Amino acid sequence: MTKKEIVKQISEALGLTQLKTKEIVQKTFDAIVDTLLAEKRIELRNFGVFEVKQRKARKARNPRTGERVDVEPKNVVTFKPGKEMEERVKKLDLVSTNSQPVEANGRMASKS
């Protein structure tokens, strides 16, 4: 799913224009990034935790030449899903093995 598809889905559900919804979605993403830059962590209840962690310097190998190279330390963003998300994803996994369609809200789609 792309940001454009998320915007379309939200705008239809709330009856807002796609332009206004796109602005809201982008502001939300910007707020998450800004918080990560400032505080290195953001917790969104029932969704999960984004956190900035630093990877240590390490030695690696160039796959083409086999030459050993030094990899500098770097910051990476990690995500740990919340309990509610994990439980919904587990249910989705069980449902998808039965080939039953699932709606965006996690409920099984009705058969037409």
**What's the domain range around 98?**
82-112
Angstrom CA distances, 52 to 33, 47, 79, 80, 94, stand at 10, 17, 9, 12, 32
* 15 is a domain residue: yes
Residue-by-residue pLDDT tens, the chain, 112 positions: 999 999 999 999 999 999 999 999 999 999 999 999 999 999 999 899 999 999 999 999 999 999 999 999 999 999 999 999 998 888 886 765 555 555 555 555 554 4
> Does this model's pTM top 0.95?
no
**CA 79/CA 108 separation, integer angstroms:** 27
- Residue 39 φ/ψ, nearest 5 degrees: -115, -10
Instruction: Assess contact for 3 and 11: CB atoms under 8 A.
Output: no
- Report the domain count for the chain: 2
* 60 is a domain residue: no
Ramachandran region of residue 66, left (φ > 0), alpha (ψ -120 to 50) or beta? left
